Chain A
Amino acid sequence: MQTKSLITRNELNEKLSVYTRKYSKRIKGTPPGVCPVTFIRSFVESASSQTCGKCVPCRDGLPQLSKMLEKIIEGEGDEDSLTEIVDLATTIRDTADCAIGYEAAYVVLQSMKTFREEYYSHINNKQCLGEVGEKIPCVSYCPANVDIPGYIALIGEKRYEDAVALIRNDNPFPTACAFVCEHPCMTKCRRELLDNAINIRGLKKYAVDNAHADKVWLPKSNVSTGKTISVIGAGPSGLTAAYFLSLMGHHVDVYEAREKAGGMLRYGIPNYRLPKDRLDEDIRSILATGNIEMHYNCMINRDISMDELVEKSDAVFISIGAQSGRLVPIEGIESKGVASAVEMLGEIGKGNIPDYTGKKIVVVGGGNVAMDCARSAIRCNAESVNVIVMERQVDMTASPDEIFGAIEEGAELLTLHAPLKITSNENGEVKSFIAQPQRVGKFNSLDKPTVIPADRDPIEVPCDIVLMAIGQKIDSESFEKYSVEPVRHIFETEPTTRVKGYEKIFAAGDCVSGPATAIKAIGAGKIAAINIDEYLGYNHKFKAHIAMPEPKQNDRTHYGSTHLTFVSARERRRNFDPIENGMSYEEAMQECNKCLRCDHFGCGVLVGGDI
């Protein structure tokens, strides 16, 4: 008889799982700038550690593949070595029985296409491509390259004003970003190797709550240069450019079609996420640099012609954003009660809050704007809010916090449903929304699963109002001759933000990239300002010097990460008051203390190792 034991081999595996978690954190924290070939080799190494040892191609092939890659990395390979790798990897892919073998080989083959130049650089120059080289993760991932370790250290020293001033060296919207930045800085935070990424946005919020931006000292603007730059659009990109140009001593005329500045920060993001009075703090400090003249309610080619502007300015910066909402071209779209999300949010931004009492609302879309729309509708006292989303919840582009917040506040998510038709009553008013159920299919070329119509009957959602939040388009008709791409209506620019074919016209932000985040627009606005200055023949220095605190030794204790909490759903759904709670002093100091100071202990001290 054979005895069975309760203790299985998995016991060992369970112990190992601690280390697999460590491993995946290590992978997640891969710093920007590592050599792709070296990374792929380590991938093959870990793949070969997983082999069961049955199939020759995997068991014996992967170690050989690793050696071959090593040879390339060390600059000892040639064209033939690449062919050998392709031959072996192809064979492993085609012969291994299980994914441990064939998928590893597939990844190697794919990497040889993606990183072809890097492979060749190792062969021909015996070194990596110029762009390989580690960078400070948070700083280089921030589109505005804000000195994040610096301001965290300043917060840690309770020098909140200096922290805000340091942020403003690169980003004049510390407050807006404290509330709504998508914080790409946190994605590769090295702290992840120990416990979790630092809550950078939370700390920034702590800073601006303790030192309001409009009360913080500004760098002294340069003496007047006598040059005038016209900025079209007072959104994050336009005002950022205006801020830096003003610090450089240029006179900036900002033309804004609406009645107030801020762009989508004011007219797209609802007050409960970014309170208007806080946004105004940033705007007030931007205008306080002294050389900016605002022209509100001024529309290009209505109140002033573009040609005239180009004629009278030393340079022009177009930052008109993506202002109008897209609608899905489905049957019934012209019914009364159908609107775009930007229209709805724009009105709310102006202070015209609609009364949805007794109304059933359908919101179409799965992004953050759809969530803004749904959550705003709830605050307008809607009877019900249904959000129709094509994809699965995990694939939605809205941030998990936003989705969860909307659901908590009472929005219903109808995922995997595509818009089909809007029905209306005899008055042409919306009656219901008909959606086609979808199912998830293959991955597309972007490595995302596609959705396809499911073999099910359409569903009907009764409603009075349909809000489309499926994207925005750029109103670039007035600028058609200035290198506007005809399909997406975006401006075609060089990497310097200069509009292609024009000397003194620059453009950046959503109107170039298509709808994107505020911080991207801010980063682009800064680049534009520097390049406009350079185009005018200057190299004005504009950064304030701030003495930095001495870095402390790394605290290697593992801490849980501090998440910001919210006002309860029951409370917050009643009005547009801000919903996010800030950090306490203790929380903020614990987060600050976690910073590993990659600018001091890491690659940041190497020449070229910052961004």
Chain B
Amino acid sequence: MVNLTIDNIPVSVEEGTTILDAAASVDIKIPTLCYLKEINDIGSCKVCVVEAEGYEYLLTSCRTKVEEGMVIHTNTSKVRAARYQMLNLLIANHDTRCFSCSKSGDCRLQDLADEYNVEYSMYKGVKTNRAPSKDNPFLTYYPELCINCQRCVNVCNKIVGNGTLHGAKMGARTIIDAPFGPDWKETDCESCGNCAQVCPTGALMTKNRRAYRVGKTSKVLTTCPHCATGCQFYLIIRNNEIIDIEPANGPSNEGKLCVKGRFASFNFAQSRDRLTHPLIKNRKTGEFEQATWDEALDLIAEKFMEIKKKYGPDALAGFACSRSPNEDCYMLQKMVRCAFGTNNVDNCARVCHSATVAGLAMTLGSGAMTNPIHDITTDVDVIMLVGSNPEEAHPVIGMQIREAVERGTKLIVVDPRDIGLAQKADIHLKLKPGTNVAFANGMMNVIINEGLEDKEFIKERTEGYEKIKEIVKDYTPEKVAKICHIDPDHLREAAMMYASAGKAPIIYCLGVTEHSTGTEGVMSMSNMAMLTGKLGREGCGVNPLRGQNNVQGACDMGAMPTDFPGYQKVKNPEVIEKFEKAWGVKLNTKPGIFATDVFGAAINKEVRGLFIFGEDPVVTDADQNHVRKALESLDFLVVSELFMTETTQYADVVLPGMSYVEKEGTFTNTERRVQRVRKAITLEGDMKPDTEIFIEIMNRMGYKQPHLEPSEIMDEISRLVPSFGGISFKRLDNGESLQWPCPSKDHPGTPILHVGKFSRGLGWFYPAEYKESAELPDEEYPFIMMTGRILYHYNTRAMTGRTPGLMKKQGSSYIELNTEDALKLDIRDGERIKVSSRRGEIYTKARVGDKVSKGETWMPFHFPDGNANVLTNAALDEFARIPEYKVCAVRIEKISG
């Protein structure tokens, strides 16, 4: 500890503390302007200077560390004079027409000028003659307001790790080279807006922020509705309208947001094309007609009861929405189980991470990310990233990985494409799609041969080692290299690098799961981690990055045909008994069918009535024509939605639900963190909270479900789900951040799973053998096609497509082709081409380059003008019934003429 006095107050702080922080520890506030903790401490503005006895010169308190015996004065006349001078110098070069600046009232420079009585500068400054940059749809830069504090530059380079924003020179003056000009589309700028967030003046602002002044606005803290990173932010509201978003310092986003979170999280909710009334399809005209809630709900109850009576409860099914809160998902599955009387309930995890849920549950006992995001991106030696492109799909996690790599963490990227992070990777294994199991077995072969396995861990905590050892014996690097189309040296090095690292997490995503052998792929990930003892401790683990904002929650809440809430198995009679008692109803003991199997069952007339809550399977599910046929075959389809979609076209009744800004609830992010969603606005229209819709239907179908508020629903969940036992709105609203398992009210939550013991007891080495993808390229369809997400859009674009700036950045479909293949086919970059598979054909634009390997192609799945899912193959995984989105065979054709 270092002892000093500040303004005559004795202070004792740890060595390495700045004078600024030391002062703050005794509530002495030293003014700052350019300083931003851990982001910008360059000491440029000199507003934070202080006087120290024995020092001839003033000290910059934000970056001068305390020394023993220092005597500091923070507010002497000398200090004040210096601050006054600094403000005069800055304001001389700053356009002070504050009336025309929307940052007025929220401007650090203005605040300080007020405090130090600087009405106008005593100096005549040099006004810049540089034009503003404002072509970017989201961001603007007005140089005449810039004080060159470098906050934006440091955020872009050090925190976001994107590095497109730079300082430049104009003679002796520093300027900011903001990439928002006419060529904004061609720059590497991701438009995340984190730069604008930190600007202390009105120089660098988002266009949303330019449209209002503080004072007349209010804020509501909530959770981002895009990916499962679970970023925390505030909705900024004026007159019952959301006008902006401001990041909060959440545990997973640490003050950052991505382009989608910041700019595409509220337009959709307030969009004019929201559904505002229940609609019933007129059977004669085929047109939807507006109806009252009573009409719609009665019709639904009547039709579903009719089917239930005639064909049994298992002729009904329901899909939960993994974008909606836990409370909604819980009530939907309760409706399906208690009122429909079937376990035919599922959610879209089926098509993304069901393999994770099934696989990790089998091997470890819990199908979720084992370690927190912060833990696996801070102070780790190696990150092994498999089939995951977080820079685009989980951008705020991507930023944290970039930051880690910048700090010296080694990176192994296992991905068929040259994704952005591959450029920063120590090793990139550009493997053939669909060969993950072979890759993992090869890794284990090397690890065992090199004697790098963790023998003690294997002995104490696992089972099945001898069998896996036997299996992987065959997977020599040379053999695996042939299967995976990689260099055997790369495999050996990756194996040794991973195995010999002290702390090394595996981070993976849909490149592992979305295969007909997805579950085995997942289990292969846990095999590698167990083999090297990298589970149940800091900076390690097996870490699936979940897709949807609440897909973790939808699974946790039991929107799964095999599991009651909290992964309590339908097959277990004790579980049935428990829920029968709790819910007061006789339950169906037969596990339900998976969402992906529902389509086949509908065509076969085994399923006749379907309730779809907030999903658009026509667009998102593999083999679109098959899905369309299934929906057509249904006797009765109900869709609860925000918008008319491709899927609602097939519905008999469409119900207007509510978006996340209109209701209370919780989302569970990828790291099992349960976070609040809060009502911010009330929109005009006859929409209902989805929980109420389900409660109404339950009651009308004869199951007595009392009305419950979302917080009461969470209380019911905590009573029935042991891992949620201690979670309540009250605790969350008190500022606690809880990761399940959180079994009791005084439990702090569990950041790292499997510490000391696996949820399953012993970890199980699943003996996985490599199997080829279901559909391999042949003469007729010679290319492998993969699908995936891009930074600027989210799935069906229901949200991002209603944000015009994102559509401006990327508004249409394309397919990535390898240069050599394109040359052979005489296809040029940007040319419109035909892509077909055994299931259909589409037209799209070629994007030629070396991002994909020869013989492989890649398509984003967002765009209706060439929907990749017309082509994809609904070949299903044996365990999780996940479709093989990542591999199907296609033909590429030049459009003649």
The chain A residues found within 8 Å of chain B, CB to CB, are: 34-35, 37-38, 73-76, 122, 126-128, 130, 132-133, 222-227, 249, 537-541, 543, 545, 550, 553, 556, 600-601, 605-608
B299 close to A (CB within 8 Å): no
- Report chain A residues within 8 Å CB of B426: 222, 538-541
* A541 and B410 form a contact (CB under 8 A): yes
* B427 and A538 form a contact (CB under 8 A): yes
* A126 and B492 form a contact (CB under 8 A): no
**A-contact 0/1 string along B413-448, CB 8 Å cutoff:** 000000000011111100000000000000000000
- Tell me the chain B residues, 169-191 only, with Cβ under 8 Å from chain A: 169-172, 175, 177
* A607 and B153 form a contact (CB under 8 A): yes
* B169 and A537 form a contact (CB under 8 A): no
Q: A35-B172, A128-B168 are known contacts; what are 13 more A-B pairs with Cβ within 8 Å?
A: A122-B170, A127-B170, A127-B177, A132-B168, A133-B167, A223-B497, A224-B492, A225-B489, A539-B426, A553-B57, A606-B42, A606-B153, A607-B154
**How many contacts A-B (CB < 8 Å)?**
105
A74 with B65, Cβ < 8 A, contacts A224-B492, A553-B59 known: no
A550 with B16, Cβ < 8 A, contacts A538-B426, A539-B423, A540-B426 known: yes
Complex-state Cα separation, A411 to B557, whole angstroms: 92
Give which listed residue, A222, A224, A226, A607, contacts B167 with CB less than 8 A.
A607
The chain B residues found within 8 Å of chain A, CB to CB, are: 16, 41-43, 55-57, 59, 63-65, 126, 129-130, 150, 153-154, 157-158, 163, 166-172, 175, 177, 408, 410, 423-428, 487-490, 492-493, 496-497, 500
Ranked 10 nearest A-B pairs via Cβ: A226-B489, A223-B496, A73-B171, A128-B169, A38-B171, A605-B42, A607-B157, A132-B169, A127-B170, A225-B493
Give which listed residue, B59, B170, B424, contacts A75 with CB less than 8 A.
B170
| 16 residue pairs bridging A and B, Cβ less than 8 Å apart | A35-B171, A38-B171, A76-B129, A122-B171, A127-B175, A132-B168, A222-B493, A223-B500, A224-B496, A249-B493, A537-B490, A539-B424, A540-B426, A543-B408, A607-B163, A608-B166
* A606 and B150 form a contact (CB under 8 A): yes
Complex-state Cα separation, A127 to B500, whole angstroms: 49
Give which listed residue, B129, B167, B487, contacts A606 with CB less than 8 A.
B167
A608 with B129, Cβ < 8 A, contacts A223-B493, A543-B408 known: no
**Chain A proximity of B324: nearest CB distance (Å):** 41
- Report chain A residues within 8 Å CB of B150: 606-607
- Report chain B residues within 8 Å CB of A222: 426, 493, 497
Complex-state Cα separation, A222 to B177, whole angstroms: 38
A74 with B168, Cβ < 8 A, contacts A223-B497, A226-B492, A607-B153 known: no
Complex-state Cα separation, A540 to B409, whole angstroms: 10
Give which listed residue, A126, A226, A600, contacts B493 with CB less than 8 A.
A226
- Report chain A residues within 8 Å CB of B408: 541, 543, 545
* B167 and A127 form a contact (CB under 8 A): no
A553 with B64, Cβ < 8 A, contacts A222-B497, A540-B426, A607-B154 known: yes
**Chain B proximity of A473: nearest CB distance (Å):** 39
**Chain A proximity of B533: nearest CB distance (Å):** 17
* A553 and B427 form a contact (CB under 8 A): no
**Chain B proximity of A11: nearest CB distance (Å):** 32
Q: Which residue of B lies closest to A34 (CB)?
A: B172
Complex-state Cα separation, A227 to B163, whole angstroms: 32
- Report chain B residues within 8 Å CB of A126: 129-130, 170
- Report chain A residues within 8 Å CB of B490: 225, 537
Complex-state Cα separation, A537 to B413, whole angstroms: 12
Complex-state Cα separation, A600 to B64, whole angstroms: 11
- Report chain A residues within 8 Å CB of B487: 537
**Chain B proximity of A245: nearest CB distance (Å):** 14
- Report chain B residues within 8 Å CB of A608: 166-167
- Report chain A residues within 8 Å CB of B63: 600
Majority-rule SS of A interface residues: loop
Complex-state Cα separation, A608 to B154, whole angstroms: 10
A74 with B500, Cβ < 8 A, contacts A37-B171, A133-B168, A553-B55 known: no
Complex-state Cα separation, A556 to B57, whole angstroms: 10
- Report chain B residues within 8 Å CB of A539: 423-426
Q: Which residue of B lies closest to A76 (CB)?
A: B129
- Report chain A residues within 8 Å CB of B425: 538-539
**Chain B proximity of A346: nearest CB distance (Å):** 39
* B489 and A227 form a contact (CB under 8 A): yes
Complex-state Cα separation, A229 to B175, whole angstroms: 44
Complex-state Cα separation, A127 to B64, whole angstroms: 33
Complex-state Cα separation, A552 to B228, whole angstroms: 45
Q: Which residue of A lies closest to B172 (CB)?
A: A38
Interface centre among B130, B166, B169, B496 (most CB of A within 10 A): B169
- Report chain B residues within 8 Å CB of A37: 171
Complex-state Cα separation, A591 to B59, whole angstroms: 23
Complex-state Cα separation, A76 to B128, whole angstroms: 10
Complex-state Cα separation, A383 to B885, whole angstroms: 88
A74 with B492, Cβ < 8 A, contacts A607-B157, A608-B166 known: no
* A226 and B488 form a contact (CB under 8 A): yes
Give which listed residue, B57, B65, B126, B489, contacts A550 with CB less than 8 A.
B65
**Chain A proximity of B332: nearest CB distance (Å):** 47
Give which listed residue, B153, B169, B410, contacts A127 with CB less than 8 A.
B169
- Report chain A residues within 8 Å CB of B130: 75, 126-127
- Report chain B residues within 8 Å CB of A605: 41-43
Q: Which residue of B lies closest to A540 (CB)?
A: B426
**Chain B proximity of A122: nearest CB distance (Å):** 7
Q: Which residue of B lies closest to A36 (CB)?
A: B171
**Chain B proximity of A130: nearest CB distance (Å):** 7
Q: Which residue of B lies closest to A130 (CB)?
A: B168
Complex-state Cα separation, A76 to B130, whole angstroms: 10
Complex-state Cα separation, A538 to B57, whole angstroms: 49
- Report chain A residues within 8 Å CB of B493: 222-226, 249
- Report chain B residues within 8 Å CB of A73: 170-172
- Report chain A residues within 8 Å CB of B170: 35, 73-75, 122, 126-128
- Report chain A residues within 8 Å CB of B43: 601, 605
- Report chain B residues within 8 Å CB of A541: 408, 410, 426
Give which listed residue, A34, A74, A130, A545, contacts B129 with CB less than 8 A.
A74
**Chain B proximity of A582: nearest CB distance (Å):** 31
Complex-state Cα separation, A112 to B168, whole angstroms: 22
Q: Which residue of A lies closest to B153 (CB)?
A: A607
**Chain A proximity of B383: nearest CB distance (Å):** 12
- Report chain B residues within 8 Å CB of A75: 129-130, 170
**Chain B proximity of A157: nearest CB distance (Å):** 14
Complex-state Cα separation, A74 to B175, whole angstroms: 12
**Chain A proximity of B740: nearest CB distance (Å):** 35
Q: Which residue of A lies closest to B498 (CB)?
A: A223
Q: Which residue of A lies closest to B40 (CB)?
A: A605
- Report chain B residues within 8 Å CB of A550: 16, 65
Complex-state Cα separation, A476 to B408, whole angstroms: 39
Complex-state Cα separation, A335 to B168, whole angstroms: 62
Complex-state Cα separation, A99 to B154, whole angstroms: 47
- Report chain A residues within 8 Å CB of B16: 550
**Chain B proximity of A89: nearest CB distance (Å):** 19
Q: Which residue of B lies closest to A544 (CB)?
A: B408
**Chain A proximity of B414: nearest CB distance (Å):** 14
Complex-state Cα separation, A34 to B166, whole angstroms: 17
* B169 and A133 form a contact (CB under 8 A): yes
Complex-state Cα separation, A223 to B425, whole angstroms: 15
Q: Which residue of B lies closest to A38 (CB)?
A: B171
- Report chain A residues within 8 Å CB of B158: 607
**Chain B proximity of A470: nearest CB distance (Å):** 43
Complex-state Cα separation, A309 to B734, whole angstroms: 69
Complex-state Cα separation, A165 to B252, whole angstroms: 36
**Chain B proximity of A250: nearest CB distance (Å):** 10
Q: Which residue of B lies closest to A537 (CB)?
A: B428
Complex-state Cα separation, A541 to B171, whole angstroms: 36
Complex-state Cα separation, A607 to B408, whole angstroms: 18
Q: Which residue of A lies closest to B493 (CB)?
A: A225
Q: Which residue of A lies closest to B422 (CB)?
A: A539
**Chain A proximity of B122: nearest CB distance (Å):** 22
- Report chain B residues within 8 Å CB of A601: 43
